[in-house]
Chains A and B, each alone.
Chain A
Amino acid sequence: MEVTITIVQALLAGAALLAIVRALRGPTLTDRMVALDLVLLLFAGGLAAQGARTGSAVFFPVLIVVALVAFASTVLVARFIEWRDTK
Chain B
Amino acid sequence: MSVIQAVGSFLMIAGTVLSVLAAWGVLDFPSALARMHAATKSASLGLGLIAVGAGLGAASWGLTGIGVLVAAFLFMTAPITGHLLGRAAYAAGQIDGLVHDGLAGEAPPKAQITVDTDRTLSPIRWIALVLVWVLLWRDLSAGTLLGGAVVASLIELIRRADQRRDVNLVGLVRFFANYAWLVVASNLRVAWEVITPNNDQIEEAIVAVPLQTRSVATALLVANAISYTPGSLSMELSADPWILYVHVLHFTSVEDVQESVSKLEVLAMRAISNPVPVDETSPPS
Query: Which residues of A are interface residues toward B (Cβ below 8 A)?
Result: 1, 4-5, 7-8, 11-12, 14-16, 18-19, 21-22, 28, 30-31, 33-35, 37-38, 41-42, 44-45, 48-49, 51-52, 55, 57, 60-61, 63-64, 67-68, 71, 74-75, 77-79, 81-82, 84-86
Contact = CB atoms under 8 A, between A and B. Distances in A.
A48 B64 CA distance: 11
Nearest to A61: B66
B33 to A, nearest CB: 8
A82 B20 contact: no
B5 A1 contact: yes
Contacts of B238: none
Interface of B: 1, 5, 8-9, 12-13, 15-17, 19-20, 22-24, 26-27, 32, 35-36, 39-40, 43-44, 46-47, 50-51, 53-55, 57-60, 62-63, 66-67, 69-70, 73-74, 77, 80-81, 84-85, 87-89, 91-94, 138
A41 B47 contact: yes
A22 B47 contact: no
B30 to A, nearest CB: 11
Contact of B92 (A1, A14, A16, A86): A86
A28 B94 contact: yes
Given A12-B16, A35-B35, A60-B55, 20 more contacts: A7-B16, A11-B17, A19-B23, A22-B26, A22-B27, A22-B35, A34-B35, A38-B23, A44-B47, A45-B16, A48-B54, A52-B54, A52-B58, A55-B60, A60-B70, A64-B73, A74-B84, A78-B85, A84-B92, A85-B91
